[in-house]
Amino acid sequence: MKIFITRPIPESGIKLLRDKGYEVLINEAAKDRAADKQEILAGIKGTDALLSVLTEKIDAEIMDTGLPTLKIIANYAVGFDNIDLDAAKQRNLMVTNTPDVLTNTVAEHTFALMLAISHRIAEADKFIRAGMYSVWGPMLLLGTDLFGKTLGVVGLGRIGSRVAYYAAKGFGMKVLYTDVKKDENFERGVGAQFFENIDDLLSRSDFISIHVPLLESTRHLINENKLKQMKTSAYLINTSRGPVIDEKALAKALKEKWIRGAAIDVFENEPKVEPELFRLNNIILTPHIASATEETRNAMAELAAKNIIEALEGRTPPNLVK
pLDDT digits (tens, 9 = 90+) for 283-297: 999 999 999 999 999
For residues 125 and 133, the answer to whether their CB atoms sit within 8 Å is no
Q: Which pLDDT band, with edges at 50, 70 and 90, does 79 fall under? A: confident
Residue 245 has phi, psi (to 5 degrees) of -110, 135
Residues annotated catalytic, as ranges = 241, 270, 288
The predicted model gives 67-87 an average pLDDT of 95
Using CA atoms, how far apart are residues 84 and 110, in angstroms rounded to an integer? 28
Assess whether the region 2-99+294-312 and the region 103-285 belong to the same CATH fold.
Answer: yes
Q: How far apart are CA 3 and CA 72, in angstroms?
A: 10
The CATH architecture assigned to 2-99+294-312 reads 3-Layer(aba) Sandwich (3.40)
Q: What does the pLDDT average to over 1-13? A: 97
Cα gap 244→215, rounded to integer Å: 9
Q: What is this structure's pTM?
A: 0.91
Contacts of 75 (CB under 8 A, 6+ apart): 52, 53, 54, 82, 83, 95, 96, 97, 98, 304, 321
Q: How confident is the model at residue 48 (pLDDT cuts 50, 70, 90)?
A: very high
Residue 280 CB partners (closer than 8 Å, separation 6+): 251, 254, 255
Please name the amino acid found at residue 29: A
- Whether the per-residue pLDDT at 15 is higher than 90: the answer is yes
* pLDDT tens for each residue of 103-114: 999 999 999 999
Cis before 68 (ω within 30): yes
Task: List pLDDT tens digits, range 126-136.
Answer: 999 999 999 99
Q: So where are the chain's domains?
A: 2-99+294-312, 103-285
Alpha-carbon dihedral 264, 266, 272, 273, rounded to 10 degrees: -20
State pLDDT tens for residues 230-267: 999 999 999 999 999 999 999 999 999 999 999 999 99
Tell which CATH classification among 3.40.50.720, 3.30.930.10, 3.65.10.10, 3.30.200.20 matches the domain 103-285: 3.40.50.720
User: What band does 163 get if pLDDT is binned at 50, 70 and 90?
Assistant: very high
pLDDT average, residue stretch 175-182: 97
